[in-house]
Structure 1
Amino acid sequence: MRIQSLDAIRGFAVLGILFMNIAHHMNILTGYVPFDNALVSDSIISLVQLIFADGKFRTLFCILFGAGMAILYENGQRQSVRVKTFLQTRLNWLFVFGLAHAVFIFGGDILMLYAISGIMFINYLHLDNESLFKKSRFLIILGALLMVIVNLLTLLFGNTEPITRGSQEYTDMLSIWQDGYLIQVAVQSGIALGMLLLSFLNTLWLVLGLMGLGAWLYRTRFFSTGFGKSTQQKLLAGAIITTLVCIALRFSLPGVDEEISSALFGLCAIFISPLYADFLIKHANNDSRLFRALCYCGQVALSLYLIQSISMALLFRLLLPAVWPDFELYITRIDLMAFALLFTIFQIYLARAIVKNFSHGPFEFVWRKRYRQGYIQKVSENAHCESETAK
């Protein structure tokens, strides 16, 4: 039986992540580049995103991923399934999906990182609740510290001079990106590989810790009851303090560009994202159209995530260039938010149609079929090897 709150939180996260990714869907090399004279609307939208959104939806996904693995682990044990083999096969195929997504559609893929982190996390699922919480807390603190160190080193020694819309550097990067699909594939592959390798310096450990937190929250029935008042207050205090520190760094230190700001504000998500989840759990109402819409989106989250990338690739690489050839020189954050909002409305109706008419989303169906077949094949191979050894 599905846990409605998990679906609603997952739906909220998958809808929200498009608002964060859309600038990089437009151009993975540059993201959103400000004008020479920054627009007031751009500055306001950027600050709101940094405070309330950057890293928050990805953190929710990490927490939910861990909770989902804990559910599969429990179900597998009850059904006498070879849980480790099943989970590894499932994650191996998720990595394949992520690799294809990163190379051919969007270099900012997160599925590969989740797959690698998940394979490592399998080794923690046997831990009791207290040990799991301690391990998760350690990994979250370690990942957060490493992320701060890496970004501060980048700030001190890296080239963080921000580029602007009218600069020669931007023109050169735009020219590279527009030089054909094969160039885009090469760029996306390089960025995806670089992100994956760099994740071992910081992000991987944070993701691993958040997955552990998600499993612990599931085991302690958080997704049914939410937090108590004391925990809420502690998280809120942590959210306010870390956000104020990040705002101070953003406006007081020279050379803090958009990417570094996004990474630092993403650390605030450790406190803010659980509060988002708590709010949705406390206000869960199956009679609410909004809650049901979020549940529908959560049930087909993988499909929506990949459909977002495919649709944005078509929009920014085919449709917009045909009707607005110089759009990258003039597009604003308001335009991007409008695109994201319109596509969010489309996703809500699409998710409802899929859930009402099919048992799974299209990509969930293919993924499920592949990892189930892979699991059966591995079990059969292992049984054959054991039989041969016994002889």
Structure 2
Amino acid sequence: MTSTTLSPVSGNERLDNLDVLRGLALLGIALMNVEYFTAPLVDMSSGIDAGQGGVHWLADAFVHVFVSGKFWTLFSMLFGMGFAVMLQRAQAAGRPFVPVYLRRTAGLLAFGLMHAWLIWAGDILVSYALGAIVLLLLFRNTPVSRLWKWGAGIWAVLLGMMLLGVALMGLAATMDPEAAGPAQLAGGEAMRAAEIAAYTGGSYAEAVAVRIRFFTMMLGNNLFLVPLVVGMFLVGAWLVRSGAMAAVDAHRALFVRMAWIAGLGGALLTALSLMVEVDPAPGTDATAADMLALSLHMLGSPLMSLAYLSIVVLALQRGVRWLRLVAPAGRMALTNYLLQSVVGTLVFYGYGLGMWGEVARGWQVLGVVLFFIVQVLLSRWWLARFSQGPLEWLWRGFTYLRFERPGRTAAA
């Protein structure tokens, strides 16, 4: 290796806390996604289904209040941390960073597109890849003290725009009660019907065609998501570049403050969202009240994810060892994320077991927990033999233009 080559991260350079957080984020993402392995994605962002009863209503309420929106934002922070770690290593060694990171981002985009088109349309990786380019171009040299301010500012501006839209929707409805008539809703209804037909009784090829159609239809939504992703990237990068993640003992007061302030703030906003509307209508069916509830929920989600991160970091610092059980799954986050979608669609879609709409919410949650335990065990088994997951090996080989022989001596 020459002095101008950037190499993969070795095992002793990893921040172990990040693997634990990634593992927990994987569980949260699966708890959120499973509902939309068995329902139209066009309905995503709906709230607590009043049609559920008993334990199934409790499971739905738990996921909506404590999980939905909290774990993709947590994963976004972790992505920003990874960016900061790579940048610090490159700068410390005096090695080029931009070409390596662009290849890494191109690889992530390729995985995201394959996921969205060939496996499941509810992908987040494409938004991460686009956000990574923004992060590289605009914020690579941002001073540490400004990173979290930029992140919070981006969220504040975008959600302020959403609240302005809510006000305009309310005004339009007052002036013209037919403003959200059948013509406006036709696109969403057609997409919903297409999803149900393809995913319940269609072939794999028909499902792929609908996934691509959905991806194209929702491109504007995905582009709106990119700045939100970037905002969380910046908060994550700040936590690494400030030294907080590497020296938790010295920054314990910071994590305690974040746990209390972000946790209480996020809980309050989530409660306000529920007071406005418990089950807001999704997509094109949404009213001004629905959009207000969604906006409040979205505003509370990053705060709660920051609180979750802080609580976990503090628990690890105090020696709570059982949390480290999920670290192997976190080390194989890409592989496990895509595996969740493969298994989820094979269980629920018509070209698989065809259980679409047949599994109640409580059983969905239990199934996710059990499958995640299997993922943790499989990850431990795999990492006892190889230093990284199969898709991580492929991604890093493309990133560094060097495919090392898999094994315990390979780079982690």
Task: Decide: shared fold, TM above 0.5.
Answer: yes
Name the residue aligned to 1:382. Answer: none
Q: Does 1:237 align with 2:264?
A: yes
Of 298-307 and 186-195, the range deviating more from structure 2 = 186-195
1:56-71, aligned counterparts within 5 Å? 56-71=70-85
Q: State the alpha-carbon separation in 1 of the partners of residues 168 and 144 from structure 2.
A: 36
CA contact (8 A) 2:77 2:234 kept: yes
**Cα pair distance change 1:298/1:176, threshold 3 Å:** closer
CA contact (8 A) 2:194 2:210 kept: no
Identity %: 25
CA contact (8 A) 2:151 2:232 kept: yes
Name the residue aligned to 2:365. Answer: 337
Offset of residue 103 of structure 1: 0.3
Q: State the alpha-carbon separation in 1 of the partners of residues 125 and 280 from structure 2.
A: 33
Q: State the alpha-carbon separation in 1 of the partners of residues 25 and 169 from structure 2.
A: 29
Q: State the alpha-carbon separation in 2 of the partners of residues 175 and 347 from structure 1.
A: 31
Name the residue aligned to 1:183. Answer: 206
CA contact (8 A) 1:147 1:203 kept: no
Per-residue CA deviations over 1:87-126 (Å, capped at 9, x if unaligned) read: 1111011101100111000101111100000111013021
Per-residue CA deviations over 1:218-270 (Å, capped at 9, x if unaligned) read: 1223324253544433223312321121111114988769x966665233112
Match of 2:324 among 284, 292, 295: 292
Match of 1:220 among 242, 252, 262: 242
**Cα pair distance change 1:231/1:169, threshold 3 Å:** closer
Q: Does 1:142 align with 2:157?
A: yes
CA contact (8 A) 1:50 1:262 kept: no
Q: Secondary structure of the residue that 1:222 maps to in structure 2?
A: coil
**Cα pair distance change 1:36/1:229, threshold 3 Å:** closer
Per-residue CA deviations over 1:315-355 (Å, capped at 9, x if unaligned) read: 2234533xxxxx43543112211221221111110111122
Of 331-340 and 97-106, the range deviating more from structure 2 = 331-340
1:1-391, aligned counterparts within 5 Å? 1-29=13-41, 37-122=51-136, 123-149=138-164, 158=180, 174-177=196-199, 178-200=201-223, 202-223=224-245, 224-225=247-248, 226=252, 227-251=254-278, 264-284=296-316, 290-317=322-349, 318-321=351-354, 327-373=355-401
- Give aligned pairs, total: 364
Q: State the alpha-carbon separation in 2 of the partners of residues 30 and 262 from structure 1.
A: 15
**Cα pair distance change 1:213/1:250, threshold 3 Å:** same
Q: Gaps spanning 5+ residues in structure 2: where?
A: 1-12, 174-178, 183-188, 404-412
Between Structure 1 and Structure 2, the one with more helix by share is: 1
Name the residue aligned to 1:381. Answer: none
Q: Gaps spanning 5+ residues in structure 1: where?
A: 161-166, 322-326, 376-391
1:131 corresponds to which letter in structure 2?
R
Offset of residue 174 of structure 1: 2.6
**Cα pair distance change 1:314/1:142, threshold 3 Å:** same
Q: State the alpha-carbon separation in 2 of the partners of residues 35 and 132 from structure 1.
A: 38
Q: State the alpha-carbon separation in 1 of the partners of residues 73 and 85 from structure 2.
A: 19
**Cα pair distance change 1:127/1:341, threshold 3 Å:** same
2:204 corresponds to which letter in structure 1?
Y
Name the residue aligned to 2:4. Answer: none
**Cα pair distance change 1:299/1:38, threshold 3 Å:** closer
**Cα pair distance change 1:130/1:247, threshold 3 Å:** same
Per-residue CA deviations over 1:116-142 (Å, capped at 9, x if unaligned) read: 001110130211112323322221212
**Cα pair distance change 1:180/1:204, threshold 3 Å:** same
Q: State the alpha-carbon separation in 2 of the partners of residues 328 and 75 from structure 1.
A: 46
**Cα pair distance change 1:240/1:359, threshold 3 Å:** same
1:222 corresponds to which letter in structure 2?
A
Q: State the alpha-carbon separation in 1 of the partners of residues 213 and 342 from structure 2.
A: 19
Name the residue aligned to 1:383. Answer: none
1:69 corresponds to which letter in structure 2?
F
Q: Please, what is the CA RMSD of the aligned residues?
A: 3.4
Per-residue CA deviations over 1:287-325 (Å, capped at 9, x if unaligned) read: 76632222111111011001111111222234533xxxx
Offset of residue 46 of structure 1: 2.2
Q: Secondary structure of the residue that 2:387 maps to in structure 1?
A: coil
Of 184-193 and 267-276, the range deviating more from structure 2 = 184-193
2:61 corresponds to which letter in structure 1?
L
Of 231-240 and 337-346, the range deviating more from structure 2 = 231-240
CA contact (8 A) 1:28 1:108 kept: no
Of 125-134 and 69-78, the range deviating more from structure 2 = 125-134
CA contact (8 A) 1:293 1:352 kept: no
